[in-house]
Structure 1
Amino acid sequence: MKAYGLIFVLFFIVFISCTSEAKYTEFSLKETDVELKFQLDSVTKNEFYCYSTYKDNEGKDFFVFQNQGKNTLLFYELKNQSLAFKIDYPIEGDNGIGLGDGFYIHNLDSIYIPNRDIKEISLTNKSCILIDKYPYENDKDNKPLSIFCFGAANYKPATVIGRTMYIYSGPNRYVDHDPVSVTLNMDTKEIKALPFDYPEYPV
Protein backbone atom coordinates (compact mmCIF):
# COMPACT_ATOMS: atom_id res chain seq x y z
CA MET A 1 0.00 0.00 0.00
CA LYS A 2 2.85 2.38 0.79
CA ALA A 3 4.28 1.85 -2.71
CA TYR A 4 0.91 2.64 -4.30
CA GLY A 5 0.62 5.78 -2.16
CA LEU A 6 4.09 6.94 -3.19
CA ILE A 7 3.29 6.34 -6.87
CA PHE A 8 0.06 8.32 -6.52
CA VAL A 9 1.88 11.28 -4.90
CA LEU A 10 4.55 11.29 -7.62
CA PHE A 11 1.92 11.08 -10.35
CA PHE A 12 0.04 14.01 -8.78
CA ILE A 13 3.20 16.18 -8.61
CA VAL A 14 4.03 15.44 -12.26
CA PHE A 15 0.45 16.20 -13.28
CA ILE A 16 0.43 19.55 -11.47
CA SER A 17 3.83 20.57 -12.86
CA CYS A 18 2.76 19.76 -16.42
CA THR A 19 -0.61 21.47 -16.35
CA SER A 20 0.03 24.63 -14.33
CA GLU A 21 0.62 27.79 -16.36
CA ALA A 22 3.82 29.77 -16.08
CA LYS A 23 3.57 32.49 -13.44
CA TYR A 24 6.19 34.78 -14.91
CA THR A 25 6.55 36.48 -18.27
CA GLU A 26 9.94 37.09 -19.80
CA PHE A 27 10.83 40.63 -20.86
CA SER A 28 13.77 42.06 -22.73
CA LEU A 29 14.94 45.53 -23.71
CA LYS A 30 15.48 46.36 -27.37
CA GLU A 31 17.28 49.39 -28.73
CA THR A 32 15.19 51.72 -30.91
CA ASP A 33 15.67 55.03 -32.70
CA VAL A 34 12.92 56.72 -30.66
CA GLU A 35 13.99 59.83 -28.75
CA LEU A 36 12.04 61.47 -25.95
CA LYS A 37 12.52 65.22 -25.50
CA PHE A 38 10.98 67.18 -22.62
CA GLN A 39 10.79 70.97 -22.79
CA LEU A 40 11.59 72.54 -19.40
CA ASP A 41 10.54 75.99 -18.27
CA SER A 42 12.92 78.58 -16.82
CA VAL A 43 12.29 77.56 -13.17
CA THR A 44 12.84 73.83 -13.67
CA LYS A 45 16.35 72.46 -13.28
CA ASN A 46 17.65 70.03 -15.87
CA GLU A 47 19.43 67.99 -13.20
CA PHE A 48 17.16 65.74 -11.18
CA TYR A 49 17.55 62.65 -9.02
CA CYS A 50 13.97 61.71 -8.16
CA TYR A 51 11.92 60.40 -11.10
CA SER A 52 9.60 57.57 -12.11
CA THR A 53 6.88 56.63 -14.57
CA TYR A 54 3.18 56.55 -13.71
CA LYS A 55 0.09 55.22 -15.52
CA ASP A 56 -3.24 56.83 -14.58
CA ASN A 57 -6.70 55.24 -14.53
CA GLU A 58 -7.27 56.20 -18.18
CA GLY A 59 -4.14 54.40 -19.31
CA LYS A 60 -2.03 57.51 -19.93
CA ASP A 61 1.69 57.08 -19.24
CA PHE A 62 3.60 59.88 -17.56
CA PHE A 63 7.23 60.63 -16.84
CA VAL A 64 7.28 62.28 -13.40
CA PHE A 65 10.19 64.00 -11.68
CA GLN A 66 10.81 66.32 -8.77
CA ASN A 67 12.27 69.74 -9.51
CA GLN A 68 15.62 69.61 -7.73
CA GLY A 69 15.51 71.51 -4.42
CA LYS A 70 11.79 72.26 -4.79
CA ASN A 71 8.55 70.64 -3.68
CA THR A 72 7.27 70.47 -7.25
CA LEU A 73 6.36 67.28 -9.12
CA LEU A 74 6.13 67.63 -12.91
CA PHE A 75 4.00 65.22 -14.94
CA TYR A 76 4.92 64.89 -18.63
CA GLU A 77 2.85 62.73 -20.99
CA LEU A 78 5.17 60.16 -22.48
CA LYS A 79 3.20 59.96 -25.73
CA ASN A 80 3.89 63.55 -26.78
CA GLN A 81 6.44 64.64 -24.12
CA SER A 82 4.27 67.63 -23.16
CA LEU A 83 3.83 68.95 -19.63
CA ALA A 84 0.41 67.78 -18.41
CA PHE A 85 0.42 69.38 -14.95
CA LYS A 86 2.50 70.26 -11.91
CA ILE A 87 1.92 69.72 -8.21
CA ASP A 88 3.48 72.27 -5.84
CA TYR A 89 3.43 70.97 -2.27
CA PRO A 90 3.56 73.50 0.59
CA ILE A 91 6.47 73.26 3.01
CA GLU A 92 4.66 74.71 6.03
CA GLY A 93 1.08 75.11 7.22
CA ASP A 94 -1.75 72.65 7.77
CA ASN A 95 -0.89 70.78 4.57
CA GLY A 96 2.86 71.31 4.79
CA ILE A 97 5.12 68.33 4.19
CA GLY A 98 8.51 69.95 4.78
CA LEU A 99 11.15 69.66 2.07
CA GLY A 100 10.46 66.50 0.10
CA ASP A 101 13.17 64.09 -0.98
CA GLY A 102 11.65 61.89 -3.67
CA PHE A 103 8.16 60.46 -3.99
CA TYR A 104 6.11 57.33 -4.57
CA ILE A 105 2.82 57.66 -6.50
CA HIS A 106 0.40 54.89 -5.56
CA ASN A 107 -2.31 56.86 -7.35
CA LEU A 108 -3.12 60.57 -7.55
CA ASP A 109 -5.06 60.31 -4.28
CA SER A 110 -2.14 58.62 -2.48
CA ILE A 111 1.29 60.16 -3.00
CA TYR A 112 4.01 59.39 -0.44
CA ILE A 113 6.78 61.96 0.07
CA PRO A 114 9.64 61.50 2.57
CA ASN A 115 10.88 64.57 4.44
CA ARG A 116 14.48 65.51 3.67
CA ASP A 117 15.30 66.73 7.19
CA ILE A 118 13.32 64.61 9.64
CA LYS A 119 12.27 60.96 9.84
CA GLU A 120 8.77 61.33 8.48
CA ILE A 121 6.84 60.35 5.33
CA SER A 122 3.81 62.41 4.30
CA LEU A 123 0.80 60.93 2.55
CA THR A 124 -0.80 63.55 0.33
CA ASN A 125 -2.68 63.84 -2.97
CA LYS A 126 -2.83 65.77 -6.24
CA SER A 127 -4.76 68.59 -4.52
CA CYS A 128 -1.94 69.03 -1.96
CA ILE A 129 -4.17 67.90 0.91
CA LEU A 130 -2.15 66.30 3.71
CA ILE A 131 -3.85 62.99 4.51
CA ASP A 132 -1.50 61.41 7.05
CA LYS A 133 2.07 61.28 8.33
CA TYR A 134 4.27 58.27 9.02
CA PRO A 135 7.03 58.97 11.57
CA TYR A 136 9.83 56.40 11.65
CA GLU A 137 12.36 57.31 14.35
CA ASN A 138 12.47 53.61 15.28
CA ASP A 139 10.96 50.46 13.85
CA LYS A 140 8.48 48.22 15.68
CA ASP A 141 11.35 46.48 17.53
CA ASN A 142 12.72 49.88 18.65
CA LYS A 143 15.64 49.68 16.23
CA PRO A 144 16.82 53.22 15.24
CA LEU A 145 16.45 54.05 11.56
CA SER A 146 18.21 56.40 9.15
CA ILE A 147 16.52 59.05 7.00
CA PHE A 148 14.94 57.60 3.85
CA CYS A 149 15.10 58.98 0.33
CA PHE A 150 12.92 57.88 -2.60
CA GLY A 151 15.45 59.04 -5.16
CA ALA A 152 16.19 57.07 -8.31
CA ALA A 153 19.67 58.28 -9.25
CA ASN A 154 21.78 57.49 -6.20
CA TYR A 155 19.28 55.51 -4.09
CA LYS A 156 16.27 53.43 -5.09
CA PRO A 157 12.60 54.38 -5.30
CA ALA A 158 10.15 52.71 -2.95
CA THR A 159 8.61 49.45 -4.11
CA VAL A 160 5.07 48.37 -3.20
CA ILE A 161 3.84 44.78 -3.16
CA GLY A 162 0.23 44.48 -2.03
CA ARG A 163 -0.11 46.91 0.87
CA THR A 164 3.54 46.67 1.91
CA MET A 165 6.02 49.36 0.90
CA TYR A 166 9.71 48.44 0.73
CA ILE A 167 11.92 51.45 1.45
CA TYR A 168 15.67 51.65 0.95
CA SER A 169 17.86 53.92 3.06
CA GLY A 170 21.30 55.34 2.61
CA PRO A 171 24.11 53.99 4.78
CA ASN A 172 24.86 55.36 8.23
CA ARG A 173 27.65 52.97 9.07
CA TYR A 174 28.59 54.71 12.31
CA VAL A 175 25.60 53.12 14.06
CA ASP A 176 24.97 49.51 14.99
CA HIS A 177 22.54 47.52 12.86
CA ASP A 178 21.84 50.10 10.14
CA PRO A 179 19.27 48.31 7.91
CA VAL A 180 19.48 48.56 4.14
CA SER A 181 15.71 48.31 3.81
CA VAL A 182 12.54 48.48 5.88
CA THR A 183 8.91 47.59 5.23
CA LEU A 184 6.02 49.97 5.84
CA ASN A 185 2.52 48.56 6.31
CA MET A 186 0.44 51.13 4.43
CA ASP A 187 -2.65 50.36 6.53
CA THR A 188 -1.31 49.99 10.08
CA LYS A 189 1.79 52.26 9.71
CA GLU A 190 3.93 49.49 11.22
CA ILE A 191 7.57 49.82 10.16
CA LYS A 192 9.89 46.83 10.34
CA ALA A 193 13.60 46.74 9.60
CA LEU A 194 14.67 43.88 7.35
CA PRO A 195 17.59 41.76 8.58
CA PHE A 196 20.31 42.83 6.11
CA ASP A 197 22.42 45.71 7.54
CA TYR A 198 25.06 48.00 6.08
CA PRO A 199 28.58 47.15 7.27
CA GLU A 200 30.09 49.26 10.02
CA TYR A 201 33.20 51.37 9.53
CA PRO A 202 36.29 49.79 11.07
CA VAL A 203 37.20 51.21 14.48
Structure 2
Amino acid sequence: MNTTLKTLVFTSLVAIYCCSCQGNSKNVNSIELMPSEEILSFPIDDSTSNVSMGLVYYDGQLINVNWTTNSLQFYNLKTQTKDKEIFFEEEGPNGVGGIFGIYPHNLDSIFLFNQVASVITLTDTSGNIKNRIQYEAPRRYSNAFVHNAYALSPPLLIKGKLLVKTHITGNYRAMTEEDLSKSDMAYSINLNSGSVKMEDLEYPEKYLSEGLKLFEPSIVFHPEYTVYSIFGDHRIFKKSKSGELETFEGKSQYLDEYLPKFPIDGARLETQRYLLGSSRYESLVYDDYRKVYYRIAYPTLQITQEEELIKLRQSSGPFVIQVFDESLNLITERYFEDEIYLPNNLFVAEKGLYISINNPFNPTAEEDSFRFRLLELVN
Protein backbone atom coordinates (compact mmCIF):
# COMPACT_ATOMS: atom_id res chain seq x y z
CA MET A 1 0.00 0.00 0.00
CA ASN A 2 1.47 3.36 -0.95
CA THR A 3 2.26 6.23 1.37
CA THR A 4 -0.71 8.39 0.36
CA LEU A 5 -3.26 5.63 0.95
CA LYS A 6 -1.81 4.63 4.30
CA THR A 7 -1.81 8.23 5.49
CA LEU A 8 -5.42 8.66 4.32
CA VAL A 9 -6.33 5.69 6.52
CA PHE A 10 -4.65 7.43 9.45
CA THR A 11 -6.42 10.75 9.01
CA SER A 12 -9.75 9.00 8.50
CA LEU A 13 -9.26 7.47 11.95
CA VAL A 14 -8.98 10.95 13.44
CA ALA A 15 -12.23 11.99 11.80
CA ILE A 16 -14.01 8.90 13.03
CA TYR A 17 -13.08 9.75 16.61
CA CYS A 18 -14.62 13.16 16.50
CA CYS A 19 11.78 20.16 8.82
CA SER A 20 14.54 20.50 8.00
CA CYS A 21 17.34 21.28 10.49
CA GLN A 22 16.39 24.94 10.37
CA GLY A 23 13.56 24.86 12.88
CA ASN A 24 12.81 27.70 15.28
CA SER A 25 13.46 26.87 18.91
CA LYS A 26 12.26 28.33 22.20
CA ASN A 27 15.00 27.66 24.73
CA VAL A 28 13.91 27.90 28.36
CA ASN A 29 16.82 26.40 30.28
CA SER A 30 19.74 26.41 27.83
CA ILE A 31 18.59 23.08 26.43
CA GLU A 32 17.66 22.61 22.79
CA LEU A 33 16.15 19.81 20.76
CA MET A 34 18.46 19.56 17.78
CA PRO A 35 18.33 17.43 14.61
CA SER A 36 21.54 15.41 14.40
CA GLU A 37 23.37 14.00 11.41
CA GLU A 38 22.38 10.44 12.32
CA ILE A 39 19.81 8.82 10.05
CA LEU A 40 18.53 5.26 10.38
CA SER A 41 17.39 3.54 7.19
CA PHE A 42 15.60 0.18 7.17
CA PRO A 43 14.89 -1.47 3.79
CA ILE A 44 11.27 -2.60 3.41
CA ASP A 45 9.48 -4.96 1.04
CA ASP A 46 6.66 -4.25 -1.39
CA SER A 47 3.96 -5.14 1.13
CA THR A 48 5.17 -2.51 3.59
CA SER A 49 4.36 1.19 3.41
CA ASN A 50 7.19 3.60 4.19
CA VAL A 51 4.74 5.32 6.54
CA SER A 52 3.92 3.06 9.46
CA MET A 53 0.57 2.64 11.18
CA GLY A 54 2.36 1.60 14.34
CA LEU A 55 5.95 1.66 15.60
CA VAL A 56 7.19 0.43 18.98
CA TYR A 57 10.81 0.30 20.13
CA TYR A 58 11.89 -2.35 22.61
CA ASP A 59 15.37 -3.55 23.57
CA GLY A 60 17.19 -2.86 20.30
CA GLN A 61 14.23 -3.90 18.15
CA LEU A 62 11.93 -1.60 16.23
CA ILE A 63 8.60 -3.37 15.82
CA ASN A 64 6.38 -2.32 12.92
CA VAL A 65 2.68 -3.18 12.83
CA ASN A 66 1.86 -3.99 9.20
CA TRP A 67 -1.92 -3.67 8.80
CA THR A 68 -1.75 -4.84 5.17
CA THR A 69 -0.40 -8.29 6.02
CA ASN A 70 -1.59 -8.52 9.66
CA SER A 71 1.99 -9.03 10.74
CA LEU A 72 4.70 -7.77 13.06
CA GLN A 73 8.07 -6.87 11.55
CA PHE A 74 11.17 -6.77 13.73
CA TYR A 75 13.99 -4.45 12.66
CA ASN A 76 17.41 -4.42 14.30
CA LEU A 77 18.63 -0.92 15.13
CA LYS A 78 22.31 -1.88 15.02
CA THR A 79 22.27 -3.61 11.64
CA GLN A 80 19.30 -1.61 10.24
CA THR A 81 17.87 -4.80 8.76
CA LYS A 82 14.69 -6.80 9.25
CA ASP A 83 15.37 -9.74 11.53
CA LYS A 84 11.99 -11.42 11.11
CA GLU A 85 8.33 -11.01 10.30
CA ILE A 86 5.51 -12.83 12.03
CA PHE A 87 2.20 -13.26 10.21
CA PHE A 88 -1.05 -13.80 12.11
CA GLU A 89 -4.34 -15.25 10.93
CA GLU A 90 -7.37 -13.04 11.44
CA GLU A 91 -9.95 -15.83 11.78
CA GLY A 92 -10.08 -19.48 12.79
CA PRO A 93 -8.66 -21.28 15.82
CA ASN A 94 -5.40 -19.38 15.57
CA GLY A 95 -6.98 -16.08 14.58
CA VAL A 96 -6.15 -12.88 16.44
CA GLY A 97 -8.41 -10.52 14.49
CA GLY A 98 -7.00 -7.55 12.63
CA ILE A 99 -4.03 -6.25 14.61
CA PHE A 100 -4.79 -2.63 15.50
CA GLY A 101 -1.99 -2.01 18.01
CA ILE A 102 0.54 -3.79 20.19
CA TYR A 103 2.18 -3.56 23.59
CA PRO A 104 5.49 -5.43 24.13
CA HIS A 105 5.78 -5.95 27.88
CA ASN A 106 8.91 -7.84 26.88
CA LEU A 107 9.86 -9.83 23.79
CA ASP A 108 8.32 -12.98 25.33
CA SER A 109 5.07 -11.19 26.15
CA ILE A 110 3.68 -9.10 23.29
CA PHE A 111 0.02 -8.11 23.59
CA LEU A 112 -2.03 -7.76 20.40
CA PHE A 113 -5.16 -5.58 20.31
CA ASN A 114 -8.01 -5.30 17.85
CA GLN A 115 -11.05 -3.01 17.75
CA VAL A 116 -13.75 -5.55 16.89
CA ALA A 117 -13.69 -8.00 19.81
CA SER A 118 -12.97 -7.62 23.53
CA VAL A 119 -10.04 -10.01 23.30
CA ILE A 120 -6.34 -9.46 23.87
CA THR A 121 -3.91 -12.01 22.41
CA LEU A 122 -0.59 -12.72 24.08
CA THR A 123 2.24 -13.82 21.80
CA ASP A 124 6.04 -13.74 21.56
CA THR A 125 8.73 -13.27 18.91
CA SER A 126 8.10 -16.78 17.58
CA GLY A 127 4.42 -15.99 16.93
CA ASN A 128 3.08 -18.59 19.37
CA ILE A 129 -0.37 -17.83 20.77
CA LYS A 130 0.36 -18.05 24.48
CA ASN A 131 -2.95 -16.81 25.83
CA ARG A 132 -6.20 -15.05 24.97
CA ILE A 133 -7.66 -12.69 27.53
CA GLN A 134 -11.41 -12.23 27.22
CA TYR A 135 -12.82 -9.11 28.87
CA GLU A 136 -15.95 -7.01 28.67
CA ALA A 137 -15.61 -3.29 28.01
CA PRO A 138 -17.63 -1.27 30.54
CA ARG A 139 -20.93 0.19 29.41
CA ARG A 140 -20.46 3.46 27.48
CA TYR A 141 -16.82 2.64 26.73
CA SER A 142 -14.92 1.15 23.80
CA ASN A 143 -12.62 -1.82 23.76
CA ALA A 144 -9.03 -1.04 24.75
CA PHE A 145 -7.83 1.61 22.32
CA VAL A 146 -4.19 0.87 21.50
CA HIS A 147 -2.86 2.66 18.42
CA ASN A 148 0.88 3.05 17.95
CA ALA A 149 0.80 6.09 15.65
CA TYR A 150 -2.05 8.29 16.89
CA ALA A 151 -2.50 10.05 20.28
CA LEU A 152 -0.01 7.59 21.74
CA SER A 153 -1.12 5.94 24.98
CA PRO A 154 0.91 2.74 25.45
CA PRO A 155 -0.56 0.26 27.95
CA LEU A 156 1.28 -0.71 31.12
CA LEU A 157 1.25 -4.07 32.92
CA ILE A 158 1.39 -3.80 36.72
CA LYS A 159 0.93 -6.81 39.00
CA GLY A 160 -1.25 -8.76 36.61
CA LYS A 161 -3.39 -5.78 35.58
CA LEU A 162 -3.11 -4.09 32.20
CA LEU A 163 -3.79 -0.35 32.12
CA VAL A 164 -5.32 0.72 28.79
CA LYS A 165 -6.87 3.80 27.21
CA THR A 166 -10.51 3.78 26.20
CA HIS A 167 -12.98 6.00 24.31
CA ILE A 168 -16.46 7.11 25.34
CA THR A 169 -19.01 5.67 22.93
CA GLY A 170 -22.08 7.46 21.58
CA ASN A 171 -22.73 10.66 19.64
CA TYR A 172 -19.56 12.72 19.88
CA ARG A 173 -21.29 15.98 18.94
CA ALA A 174 -23.87 15.50 21.70
CA MET A 175 -21.32 15.30 24.52
CA THR A 176 -21.97 17.77 27.34
CA GLU A 177 -19.77 19.09 30.12
CA GLU A 178 -21.84 17.16 32.67
CA ASP A 179 -21.47 13.88 30.75
CA LEU A 180 -17.75 14.36 30.24
CA SER A 181 -17.17 15.15 33.91
CA LYS A 182 -18.59 11.72 34.76
CA SER A 183 -16.46 9.93 32.19
CA ASP A 184 -13.13 8.15 32.32
CA MET A 185 -10.14 7.84 29.97
CA ALA A 186 -8.81 4.44 31.02
CA TYR A 187 -9.50 1.15 32.72
CA SER A 188 -7.47 -1.80 33.95
CA ILE A 189 -7.95 -5.39 32.81
CA ASN A 190 -7.21 -8.23 35.20
CA LEU A 191 -5.31 -10.71 33.02
CA ASN A 192 -6.31 -13.68 35.19
CA SER A 193 -10.05 -13.08 35.49
CA GLY A 194 -10.74 -10.68 32.61
CA SER A 195 -12.50 -8.32 35.00
CA VAL A 196 -12.34 -4.59 34.27
CA LYS A 197 -11.99 -1.65 36.64
CA MET A 198 -12.23 2.05 35.73
CA GLU A 199 -9.09 4.03 36.62
CA ASP A 200 -10.81 7.29 37.68
CA LEU A 201 -8.72 9.19 35.17
CA GLU A 202 -10.91 12.22 34.67
CA TYR A 203 -11.12 14.85 32.00
CA PRO A 204 -10.15 18.42 32.98
CA GLU A 205 -12.85 20.28 34.89
CA LYS A 206 -14.96 22.57 32.67
CA TYR A 207 -13.22 21.29 29.54
CA LEU A 208 -16.44 21.72 27.54
CA SER A 209 -17.88 24.63 29.50
CA GLU A 210 -17.38 27.08 26.62
CA GLY A 211 -18.21 24.71 23.79
CA LEU A 212 -17.42 21.31 22.31
CA LYS A 213 -13.77 20.39 21.72
CA LEU A 214 -12.23 17.12 20.68
CA PHE A 215 -11.46 15.35 23.95
CA GLU A 216 -8.89 12.86 22.66
CA PRO A 217 -6.24 12.19 25.35
CA SER A 218 -2.67 10.98 25.10
CA ILE A 219 -1.64 9.06 28.20
CA VAL A 220 1.63 7.97 29.82
CA PHE A 221 1.03 5.33 32.49
CA HIS A 222 3.57 5.01 35.31
CA PRO A 223 3.37 2.52 38.21
CA GLU A 224 2.61 5.20 40.80
CA TYR A 225 0.97 7.91 38.73
CA THR A 226 -0.35 8.78 35.28
CA VAL A 227 0.49 11.80 33.11
CA TYR A 228 -1.79 12.90 30.29
CA SER A 229 -2.53 15.62 27.77
CA ILE A 230 -5.77 16.52 25.95
CA PHE A 231 -6.32 17.64 22.35
CA GLY A 232 -7.80 21.04 23.28
CA ASP A 233 -5.98 22.03 26.49
CA HIS A 234 -2.60 23.69 26.96
CA ARG A 235 -2.07 22.02 30.32
CA ILE A 236 -0.57 18.67 31.28
CA PHE A 237 -2.15 16.62 34.06
CA LYS A 238 -0.73 14.22 36.62
CA LYS A 239 -2.94 11.84 38.60
CA SER A 240 -1.42 9.90 41.52
CA LYS A 241 -2.61 6.47 42.64
CA SER A 242 -3.87 8.15 45.81
CA GLY A 243 -6.23 10.26 43.70
CA GLU A 244 -4.43 13.61 43.79
CA LEU A 245 -4.69 15.54 40.52
CA GLU A 246 -2.05 18.13 39.62
CA THR A 247 -2.07 20.48 36.65
CA PHE A 248 0.94 22.00 34.91
CA GLU A 249 1.02 24.89 32.48
CA GLY A 250 2.35 23.83 29.09
CA LYS A 251 1.20 26.33 26.49
CA SER A 252 3.26 26.37 23.30
CA GLN A 253 4.22 29.84 22.10
CA TYR A 254 3.30 28.69 18.58
CA LEU A 255 -0.35 27.81 19.35
CA ASP A 256 -3.38 30.05 19.78
CA GLU A 257 -4.03 31.38 23.28
CA TYR A 258 -7.64 30.18 23.07
CA LEU A 259 -7.89 26.80 21.45
CA PRO A 260 -10.71 26.50 18.88
CA LYS A 261 -14.05 24.80 19.36
CA PHE A 262 -15.46 21.85 17.43
CA PRO A 263 -17.82 23.16 14.69
CA ILE A 264 -20.93 21.23 15.79
CA ASP A 265 -23.08 22.45 12.91
CA GLY A 266 -20.19 22.96 10.52
CA ALA A 267 -19.86 21.56 7.03
CA ARG A 268 -17.35 18.82 6.27
CA LEU A 269 -14.71 21.38 5.27
CA GLU A 270 -15.02 23.16 8.62
CA THR A 271 -14.80 19.89 10.54
CA GLN A 272 -11.70 18.81 8.63
CA ARG A 273 -10.17 22.24 9.11
CA TYR A 274 -10.67 21.85 12.86
CA LEU A 275 -9.24 18.32 12.99
CA LEU A 276 -6.27 18.89 10.70
CA GLY A 277 -5.52 22.60 10.68
CA SER A 278 -6.32 24.05 14.10
CA SER A 279 -4.15 24.61 17.17
CA ARG A 280 -4.10 21.34 19.08
CA TYR A 281 -2.00 18.86 21.05
CA GLU A 282 -1.59 15.22 20.15
CA SER A 283 0.92 12.60 21.35
CA LEU A 284 2.64 12.79 24.72
CA VAL A 285 5.71 10.51 24.77
CA TYR A 286 7.92 9.61 27.74
CA ASP A 287 11.68 9.23 27.31
CA ASP A 288 12.78 6.88 30.10
CA TYR A 289 16.45 7.29 29.19
CA ARG A 290 16.52 11.06 29.71
CA LYS A 291 13.49 11.28 32.02
CA VAL A 292 11.68 13.83 29.88
CA TYR A 293 8.35 14.03 28.04
CA TYR A 294 7.92 15.06 24.41
CA ARG A 295 4.59 16.51 23.31
CA ILE A 296 3.58 16.98 19.69
CA ALA A 297 1.59 20.15 18.98
CA TYR A 298 0.20 21.76 15.85
CA PRO A 299 -0.25 25.50 15.16
CA THR A 300 -3.29 26.94 13.41
CA LEU A 301 -3.04 27.09 9.63
CA GLN A 302 -4.92 29.53 7.44
CA ILE A 303 -6.82 27.10 5.22
CA THR A 304 -9.23 28.42 2.61
CA GLN A 305 -9.21 25.70 -0.06
CA GLU A 306 -10.12 22.03 0.14
CA GLU A 307 -6.91 21.24 -1.78
CA GLU A 308 -4.96 22.43 1.25
CA LEU A 309 -6.84 19.98 3.47
CA ILE A 310 -6.21 17.16 1.02
CA LYS A 311 -2.50 17.91 1.37
CA LEU A 312 -2.77 17.82 5.17
CA ARG A 313 -4.33 14.36 4.96
CA GLN A 314 -1.05 13.19 3.48
CA SER A 315 1.29 15.30 5.59
CA SER A 316 0.94 16.86 9.03
CA GLY A 317 2.16 20.28 7.95
CA PRO A 318 4.11 22.45 10.45
CA PHE A 319 4.34 21.08 13.97
CA VAL A 320 6.01 21.65 17.33
CA ILE A 321 7.83 19.32 19.69
CA GLN A 322 7.73 20.43 23.32
CA VAL A 323 10.05 18.96 25.95
CA PHE A 324 9.07 18.75 29.63
CA ASP A 325 11.31 17.60 32.46
CA GLU A 326 10.25 14.90 34.90
CA SER A 327 8.61 17.56 37.10
CA LEU A 328 6.57 18.61 34.02
CA ASN A 329 8.27 21.95 33.57
CA LEU A 330 8.50 23.06 29.93
CA ILE A 331 12.24 23.24 29.21
CA THR A 332 12.31 23.81 25.46
CA GLU A 333 10.25 23.53 22.30
CA ARG A 334 11.08 23.50 18.62
CA TYR A 335 9.00 24.48 15.60
CA PHE A 336 9.35 22.41 12.42
CA GLU A 337 8.07 24.14 9.31
CA ASP A 338 9.49 22.37 6.29
CA GLU A 339 7.82 19.25 4.88
CA ILE A 340 10.52 16.84 5.94
CA TYR A 341 9.22 14.99 8.99
CA LEU A 342 6.21 12.86 9.94
CA PRO A 343 5.53 13.35 13.67
CA ASN A 344 3.12 10.40 13.89
CA ASN A 345 6.04 8.06 13.04
CA LEU A 346 8.48 8.40 15.92
CA PHE A 347 10.06 6.37 18.69
CA VAL A 348 12.46 6.80 21.61
CA ALA A 349 15.66 4.76 21.89
CA GLU A 350 18.91 4.96 23.84
CA LYS A 351 20.32 7.90 21.88
CA GLY A 352 17.18 10.01 21.78
CA LEU A 353 14.02 10.70 19.81
CA TYR A 354 13.85 9.36 16.25
CA ILE A 355 11.34 10.84 13.81
CA SER A 356 10.46 9.75 10.28
CA ILE A 357 11.79 11.83 7.38
CA ASN A 358 9.50 10.11 4.88
CA ASN A 359 7.07 12.99 4.61
CA PRO A 360 5.49 12.44 1.16
CA PHE A 361 6.46 16.00 0.19
CA ASN A 362 10.08 15.52 1.24
CA PRO A 363 12.09 15.25 -2.00
CA THR A 364 14.51 12.86 -0.28
CA ALA A 365 11.78 10.49 0.98
CA GLU A 366 12.33 6.88 -0.02
CA GLU A 367 9.54 4.49 -0.96
CA ASP A 368 11.59 1.38 -0.25
CA SER A 369 12.78 2.13 3.29
CA PHE A 370 11.86 3.48 6.69
CA ARG A 371 14.05 6.50 7.41
CA PHE A 372 14.42 8.30 10.74
CA ARG A 373 16.51 11.23 11.89
CA LEU A 374 17.77 11.39 15.48
CA LEU A 375 16.75 14.46 17.48
CA GLU A 376 18.99 15.10 20.49
CA LEU A 377 18.67 17.22 23.62
CA VAL A 378 21.81 19.36 23.81
CA ASN A 379 22.99 22.11 26.16
TM-score (structure 1 length as normaliser): 0.69
Hey, what's the Cα distance between the residues in 1 that align with 2:123 and 2:57? 18
1:150: Cα distance to partner?
A: 1.8
1:130: Cα distance to partner?
A: 2.3
Greater shift in the superposed pair: 153-162 or 105-114: 153-162
Structure 2 vs 1, CA of residues 73 and 193 (structure 1 numbering), >3 Å: closer, same or farther?
A: same
- 2:41 is the counterpart of 1:41: no
1:168 alignment partner, one of 165, 189, 192: 165
Hey, what's the Cα distance between the residues in 1 that align with 2:202 and 2:132? 26
Structure 1 portions without partners, runs of 5+: 1-27, 56-60
1:89: Cα distance to partner?
A: 1.1
Q: Give the match for residue 88 of structure 2.
A: 89
Alignment of 1:136-175 (within 5 A): 136-139=135-138, 143-163=139-159, 164-172=161-169, 174=171
Q: Over alpha carbons, which structure has the higher Rg?
A: 1
User: AA paired with 2:137?
Assistant: N
1:173: Cα distance to partner?
A: 5.1
Hey, what's the Cα distance between the residues in 2 that align with 1:71 and 1:107? 20
- 2:63 is paired with a residue whose SS is strand
1:31: Cα distance to partner?
A: 4.2
CA contact (8 A) 1:138 1:145 kept: yes
Hey, what's the Cα distance between the residues in 2 that align with 1:119 and 1:185? 13
Structure 2 vs 1, CA of residues 30 and 188 (structure 1 numbering), >3 Å: closer, same or farther?
A: farther
Q: How many residues align?
A: 168
**Percent identical across equivalent pairs?**
25
1:53: Cα distance to partner?
A: 0.4
Q: Give the match for residue 101 of structure 1.
A: 100
TM-score (structure 2 length as normaliser): 0.39
Hey, what's the Cα distance between the residues in 1 that align with 2:33 and 2:131? 38
Hey, what's the Cα distance between the residues in 2 that align with 1:162 and 1:30? 35
Alignment of 1:1-203 (within 5 A): 31-55=35-59, 61-139=60-138, 143-163=139-159, 164-172=161-169, 174=171, 178-197=183-202
Structure 2 vs 1, CA of residues 104 and 120 (structure 1 numbering), >3 Å: closer, same or farther?
A: same
Deviation per CA, 1:57-79, whole angstroms, max 9, x where unpaired?
xxxx0111101343111110111
Higher relative contact order (CA 8 A, sep 6+): 2
Deviation per CA, 1:79-124, whole angstroms, max 9, x where unpaired?
1211011111111222211111011112233211112322221122
Hey, what's the Cα distance between the residues in 2 that align with 1:148 and 1:159? 9
1:136: Cα distance to partner?
A: 3.1
- RMSD over equivalenced CA pairs, Å: 2.9
CA contact (8 A) 1:62 1:77 kept: yes
CA contact (8 A) 2:105 2:157 kept: no
1:29: Cα distance to partner?
A: 6.1
